[in-house]
Amino acid sequence: MRLSSYFLPILKEDPSEAHVISHKLMLRAGMIRQQNSGIYSWLPLGVKVLQNISNIVRDEMNKMGAIEVILPCIQPAEFWIETGRFDSYGEEMLKFKDRHDVDLLFGPTAEDAITDLARNNIKSYKELPINLYQIQWKFRDEIRPRFGLMRGREFMMKDAYSFDIDQEAAEKSYDKVFQTYLKIFKRIGLKAIPVKAETGPIGGKLSHEFHIVAKNGESEIFYDPKMDSLLDNGEFDIEKIRNTYAASDDVHDGEKCPVDESILRKTKGIEVGHIFNFGTKYTKAMNFTVQGPNGELIHPLCGSYGIGVSRFVAAAIEASHDDKGIIWPKSIAPFDLAIINLNINNSECSEISEKLYDKLKNEFSVLLDDSTQNVGSKFSTNDLIGTPYQIVIGPKLIKDGKLEIKERQNSKTQIVEIDNIDEFIKTFKA
Amino acid sequence: MRLSSYFLPILKEDPSEAHVISHKLMLRAGMIRQQNSGIYSWLPLGVKVLQNISNIVRDEMNKMGAIEVILPCIQPAEFWIETGRFDSYGEEMLKFKDRHDVDLLFGPTAEDAITDLARNNIKSYKELPINLYQIQWKFRDEIRPRFGLMRGREFMMKDAYSFDIDQEAAEKSYDKVFQTYLKIFKRIGLKAIPVKAETGPIGGKLSHEFHIVAKNGESEIFYDPKMDSLLDNGEFDIEKIRNTYAASDDVHDGEKCPVDESILRKTKGIEVGHIFNFGTKYTKAMNFTVQGPNGELIHPLCGSYGIGVSRFVAAAIEASHDDKGIIWPKSIAPFDLAIINLNINNSECSEISEKLYDKLKNEFSVLLDDSTQNVGSKFSTNDLIGTPYQIVIGPKLIKDGKLEIKERQNSKTQIVEIDNIDEFIKTFKA
């Protein structure tokens, strides 16, 4: 992508509407714009990160054996009346009527709708276990939307729903998603701590939240130091992890905590995932049964599993930034690398920049900075949007056949001979 | 994907709720289920086709230089009040209020919202031309939703919006999208006729619709036979195409038609795209100006460009099916090929099927039919869902080291030696 024909409306100053760092940086880096309270338009740079995260989530869900569906944004009230949630869900549910006076709503979650789909299409225990997921826009009519995407109203969620024949199978399904979530966070490159959680309006007894570790996180997390090694080794032994103490401030009680205060780890986190196992709550309310092995009718046991995909974009920024701007994990960066042409009026700079762009754009997502900005603005723009590698092409070095490569994460720069660029580029992929 | 662990709820009988072939086949093939009048859940097979079409549309829009954004589903009424459309759009617009009594709506289109985004972020003629597009859910509250996805309420649309500095540039942008649309339809492999169109509530004078040719299409198309060769040759000379007569029954007038009745071609079609050039209608109403080359303020000229992505799924089926079911164009088929194991209790059949599945699944999207269905059901299921190539592995042929390959499009079958399978598979890609 050439910056000169891209849509990247950078803000030089901190916008007054933003009070947390991720919101500030997303506005400044031209990733989002507020359209209405808690409702955002996604600009091109934001769309790329949203898609990168979605693609990783989709890929890992598919590998796990979950199957993608898409439920409509708009749901009929009738399912929610059946489960009793139409009244109990509260004012966060956006309700309205269509032209024929039928009660509808913009789905804030989809346990009710997916149970309806399942009861009409799944008839036998032989079709279970099954895990259906979607990546779809949701709406929760927050009373005071704030902190940008952290507490917005329209948001993108990956929500998954499992159906099983008995509690043992249901917990196996639960643990499978638990493990997949840890794989997703590891692949994205951000540390997430799983903590025991309250189940709230979804219901059930077994529930965990996943919090991305971030200095300014909204919640405080307390955990047994053993958790760190269980998460680091990449094996993700869910039984051990579930038995290792971790709790957020909602649940943690210093008096009752089994881990000695002197070794208990404390950190701050941002919730990006929440999983629930709630048995037959919805299948009984909606009378979804399947035929069991002996011909008997069984209400399947369910779980639901959410990752806030749009919230994750903000959480990643909270977890990884500096004074200059965003530092994207390579896995979700909107561009893998930038080629910064310091002087577009210098024919040598432009020729080398264009050649390199042509060479790299098929293998990487590349931003060619061919803008008329001054050198200072070019550096600050590219630092702000957080591209992991910046290849700087300037008139002085180019005379000696050299260019500079800067790594955003640690600000390390290296001077490289243009003829050796291939060698260097291999390291980008590692 | 193994059929035994997939979610493919096939219906053996034609559902009584469906009156057109695409609706019948999408229900029978387990692609969609109605959730509420004109609102559908997309099942896994449907999701794959929707994603395949979206990906082709996205890729061609990107190649053209358009830039992807995502506007929220929910829009504030205020933009529509500014353009006068809040009242004039009619009852198809789904309006409602949030908990703070703010007027909102589910976007049926986005000229107003994109003009707001543009006026806040584009300040100079140097930032034009620009074409911003999204692939996003829309809602139109049809009075009588019918024909499945052909006239549903919640639907997926690719909508694009161009901004230009003068009429000449605006028509150039228009023609660029015109050409890109023809490339998209050609790449998908379905013939689409561009016809001059009325502009309706969007406004402006210049407008074309694109109709996929289908025997049971909703509209009648009349066109100069020269159009066929202009579309076939793949050059898409837009000036010539725009000057070649083509009109739908809404616009066609036999008396005034410049093409002699004796050579005029007639066919039926389904509208899948509509493009508009409407000048300053919205930029003036919303006071969006940019600074021109001489410091003067200019209202940019706009066009908007839609492809009904979810409608396209239905149109493709209307255009390509037979008595047995859907015949997907290879470009958008949910699976490239099926491996049909005729007897899962025969160890040789299962061993060969599994080996072949392992070998092919990394290169193709493969459905392994490892179900317990009888042979007849296996054949009818795989014909119904329309997989382009079906590799049949049965106990008799396998003894001689052979298998059968059937091409869905023409029902041609060939017996192939297992050892020669690689040779044969090359032809799938062609």
- Residue that the structure tokens 């099916």 belong to: B321
Residue B350 has pLDDT above 80, yes or no: yes
Instruction: Taking residues A373-377, report their average pLDDT.
Output: 95
Query: What's the average model confidence in pLDDT over A171-184?
Result: 98
Exposure class string for A83-116: b at 16+ Cβ within 10 A, else e: bebbeebeeebbbbebeeeeebbbbbbbbbbbbb
For residue A299, the 8-state DSSP code is: P
Q: What does the pLDDT read at residue B197?
A: 87
Q: What are phi and psi of B216, to 5 degrees?
A: -100, 25
Residue B9 in contact with partner chain A when CB distance is under 8 A = yes
Q: What is the mean pLDDT of chain B?
A: 95
pLDDT of the residue at A430: 66
Angstrom distance (rounded) from CA B392 to CA A1: 45
- Concatenated DSSP letters of B128-171: -SEEEEEEEEEE---SS-BTGGGB-SEEEEEEEEEEESSHHHHH
Instruction: Kindly state the average pLDDT of the residues B159-173.
Output: 98
Per-residue model confidence as pLDDT tens digits over B271-310? 999 999 999 999 999 999 999 999 999 999 999 999 999 9
Identify all chain A residues contacting B81, using CB atoms and an 8 Å cutoff: none
Check residue A360 and give its pLDDT. Answer: 95
> Which of B42, B94, B141 has the CB atom closest to A70's CB atom?
B42
Residue pLDDT, tens place only, A118-159: 999 999 999 999 999 999 999 999 999 999 999 999 999 999
At residue A358, the pLDDT reads 97
pLDDT digit string, tens, across residues A312-330:
999 999 999 999 999 999 9
Structure tokens at B196: 């001059």
Task: Give the pLDDT of residue A154.
Answer: 98
User: Is B98 part of the contact surface with chain A (CB cutoff 8 Å)?
Assistant: yes
Query: What residues contact B212, with CB distance under 8 A and at least 6 apart?
Result: B185, B190, B191, B192, B269, B270, B272, B312, B315, B316, B318, B319
Average the pLDDT over B203-223 and give the result: 92
Residue A271 has pLDDT above 70, yes or no: yes
Q: Is B344 on the interface with A (CB under 8 A)?
A: no
- What backbone torsions phi and psi does residue A320 show, to the nearest 5 degrees? -145, 95
Q: Give the C-alpha separation, A185 to A193, whole Å.
A: 10
Structure letter (DSSP) for residue B120 = H
Span A292-317, average pLDDT: 97
Contact A43 B69 (CB under 8 A): yes
- Buried b vs exposed e over B81-98: b needs ≥16 C-beta within 10 Å? ebbebbeebeeebbbbeb
From the list B42, B120, B143, the residue facing A69 with the nearest CB is B42
Q: Is B196 exposed, middle or buried (0-12, 13-18, 19+ CB in 10 A)?
A: middle
pLDDT tier, A205 (very low <50, low <70, confident <90, very high otherwise): confident
pLDDT of residue A261 exceeding 90 = yes
Interchain CB contact of A116 with B (< 8 Å): yes
Contacts of B33 in chain A (CB under 8 A): 117, 120-121
Per the structure block, which two tokens stand in for A400?
């000696």
Instruction: Determine the average pLDDT of the residues in B125-150.
Output: 96
Structure confidence by residue, pLDDT tens digits, A8-18? 999 999 999 99
More confident residue, A198 or B400: B400
At B23 the pLDDT is 97
Sign of torsion over alpha carbons A408, A410, A414, A419: negative
Residue A352 CB neighbour total at 10 angstroms: 20
Q: What are A379-406's pLDDT values in tens digits?
A: 999 999 999 999 999 999 999 999 999 9
pLDDT over threshold 70, residue B314: yes
Confidence of residue B199 (pLDDT cuts 50, 70, 90): confident
A403, amino acid identity: L
C-alpha neighbours within 13 Å on the C-beta side of residue B416: 19
Residue A227 has pLDDT above 70, yes or no: yes
Percent of chain A with pLDDT over 70: 99
List, as one string, the DSSP characters of A342-371.
S-TT-HHHHHHHHHHHHHHTTTS-EEEE--
Confidence class for position B430, pLDDT limits 50, 70, 90? low
Instruction: State mean pLDDT over B86-105.
Output: 96
Q: How far apart are CA A101 and CA A20, in angstroms?
A: 41
Contact B108, A99 (CB under 8 A): no
The pLDDT score that the predictor gives to residue A343 is 96
Report residue B136 as tokens: 């996003």
List all residues of chain B from 249 to 308 with a beta carbon under 8 Å from chain A: none
Q: Say yes or no to pLDDT of B107 above 90.
A: yes
B225/A6 Cα distance (integer angstroms): 41
Contacts of A117 in chain B (CB under 8 A): 33, 35, 41
Q: B189 CB near a chain A CB, below 8 Å?
A: no
Mean pLDDT over each residue of chain A, to the nearest integer? 95
ipTM of predicted complex: 0.97
B88: Cβ contacts below 8 Å, ≥ 6 apart: B201
Q: What is the pLDDT of residue A29?
A: 98
What does residue B261 show for φ and ψ, rounded to 5 degrees?
-45, -35
User: Best residue in B70, B122, B133, B365 to probe A by mutation, most A CBs within 10 Å?
Assistant: B70
Domains of chain B: 7-322 (3.30.930.10), 335-429 (3.40.50.800)
Sign, CA dihedral B415-B420-B425-B430, equals negative
